[in-house]
Structure 1
Amino acid sequence: MALDLLLSGGTLLDARTGDTRRADVLIRDGKIAAVGDDLGGAPEADGVAVYDASGKTISQGWMDMHVHFREPGQEHKETIETGARAAAFGGFTAVACMPNTEPPIATRDVAEFVRKRAEGLAVDVYPIGTVSKGRKGEELAEMADMAAGGAVAFSDDGSPVQHGGLMRRALEYARTLDKPILGHEEDLTLNPHGHMNEGAVATRLGLPGIPGLAEEAMIARDALLAGFTGGRVHVCHISTAEAVDIVRRAKARGVPITTEACPHHWALTDAAVEASSYDTHTKMHPPLRTAADVQAIKDGLADGTIDVIATDHAPHAGFEKEVEFIEAPFGILGLETCWGLTVRDLVRPGVLTLAQAVHKLAVAPREILGLDVPSVEVGAEANLTVFDDSTEWTFEQRHIRSKSHNTPFVGAPMVGRAWAIVNRGQFVEAEA
């Protein structure tokens, strides 16, 4: 059924320019029919359902360019449908799915499967293909074929490409396709068996550490390769101060490199592992780092070194996380808590303006992936997020829309809510 809806009384924020104005948005048949003042009395709005957006902001729909929806092969953790449900609750109208599925998104048919499974959902779901066949780091995957099947980027995700020559060829090939390589940047020879940040806390807890050096050395390598080949590198989930500085210096040299930060890497430190008595919900990869690293991430977001806010949404079933710390898989949920942590830790303290935060959610991810940024203009397909930056609330179990429940933020205070999305002719309202 076609969507007819009037968003009334809200503030329209253009995520491209940062401009704001009070405006109603009239949607007819899933498209924006009018933008202006007091459209409720206009003849074209007769009989249209009204959503009261008073006190709320309306922007282009947000995108998370780094999620794990686990389908195919790991549907006990998450499915494309349940992942999209979590995305909608978090205010996202689009996501890009990492390829560490079973089988991995390493061939065109699997990329097309992901797209097919997302048909009819209110959230656009884009597949990310592998760099190497089977994510084994030995031979390039059929990148052009996957791109033809809908892959928007390439990554070996948690199995980072260790062979420098293979990465060089991947960047050269991806450049011909105008696609980025998304890197889980880690030299595995520098981290054979770590489980949390290498440092004083890990020493006290008796846990093998993951040194920041492993991340930094690989970013430095890939920055050099990107500069040499002209291929685009996107650094996933950056986590250390030195890593941020490496990207900053590479950008200053004109290297085609971008990066993202995840809320857990600015909201928590490795002290959370100790304070929680080895709670496996504090185990992620890259791991939680130090207070100095947190500050560096905030500085990088503020000065533009870090382009994107992403979540690395990584669901795991309860039985997988309810084990000893060293036996637990890495990863936590991120979609449902992203905006509440962004406003709480970045917007309200003045690290980012509201417009800057929304730009890192709505515009930058799509630009990096070569996707069209939604337009809030008459005739455009309605692709919108309705949110605020003022509501103070506590994240609870009942707010989780994912199939899994692995998050350390249950009981955490949040600021700012995503209230609804409009996309693909559908209106999805987040229940309080």
Structure 2
Amino acid sequence: MTFTACPARLSTAAAGFEAQFAARLHWSAETDGAIEERVASILEDVKSRGDTAVLEYTARFDGLDVSSLSALELTQSELKAAFDGLPDAQRAALQAAARRVRSYHEAQKKAGGESWSYRDEDGTLLGQKVTPLDRVGIYVPGGKAAYPSSVLMNAIPAHVAGVAEIIMVVPTPRGEKNPLVLAAAYVAGVSRAFTIGGAQAVAALAFGTATVPKVDKITGPGNAYVASAKKRVFGTVGIDMIAGPSEILVLADGSTPAEWVAMDLFSQAEHDELAQSILLCPDGAYIDEVQAAIDRLLPTMPRATIIAKSLNDRGALIHTRSMEEACSISNRIAPEHLEVSSSEPHRWEPLLKHAGAIFLGAYTSESLGDYCAGPNHVLPTSGTARFSSPLGVYDFQKRSSLIEVSQTGAQSLGLIAAELAYGEGLQAHARAAELRLDEVPPMRGAA
């Protein structure tokens, strides 16, 4: 079978660039109305009928017909057996990746995840107490592919943060369990794991059932049903983000072998037909080389059909006037993954403000970040890197303010608080502060 992929060829110098650029970038985060309606029905059903509803949906969608939900729970011995049964090379790679991810997130915790306090001149203590969440749920996709890396990236920072219980859900259509996913759960310290997925798994985690414990927060990517369910249960539980299709943006100065860049574009395109791969480069001849490499390499890819559709529908090769302009356009896109494929990556990095993760230099392929570099691969998509961050230890912690006012401090702070409270018409607030003054004044506005 012959596959062709022709990403849109754009030029910033062309008169119609802005309209073409906007059309290529457009992706609606709005979920299909039928999906929203179906998800709402599933959530309500699981909330009211618990295990029974989860079992019915799992039988319907995943083809797993069992009599009790406990039959879909993976035991720790099963996770360890999966780990022990891996080929030596695969087991070593999994452990090495886990060590690097843990090391990075431990450094992240030390840098900003500790409690702190100080006393001011009147003896008042002010500070912040950082505590982990009690129980979190991690959703691991299991449809078109298996993602052991998602287990590491969600469970390890939760573990580092000090979360006491990590509940994993992963769909296993037709009962096909991926040993590497189970082994990753063992390595990452997952407490309990269930072979359920979809909106029903999100509902079980959010509301709790007789078998699945209720969690405080749900993290991890999934399909449109999972994204819709996470959006709907937000408020009952916390969530990390609503993830859209995967994205890669490559800023290239022409110094990297064209085959490397073509394969980097493939690396996101192979995820999903809706994934987006974009190249920004000031060298038109180099863009021609990348297109030629795409034509040459695409037929060798097992997921060529998905890659071709992604590149044809949403991909773009954009000829810019300069690397400076390329950086400016990158900031407008705010991509999930941003590769600076340049001989001088640190020259351009200061110009880049918005990205989920920035990969510096020709040897830093995005796939290294996906699996084993250390930083988290759960990243903001669809331009949300303008205001949000990668998943991290901080997502599994919460902060409580600490305030201990001394008797001396109450004299000055009480006057300030009372004055503002009276101004807002909240007499009880004002009086609570005034009663702690050494000389208590009459209450203003008393009946």
TM-score interval (norm. to shorter): under 0.3
Question: Which is helix-richer, 1 or 2?
Answer: 2
TM norm structure 1:
0.27
TM norm structure 2:
0.26
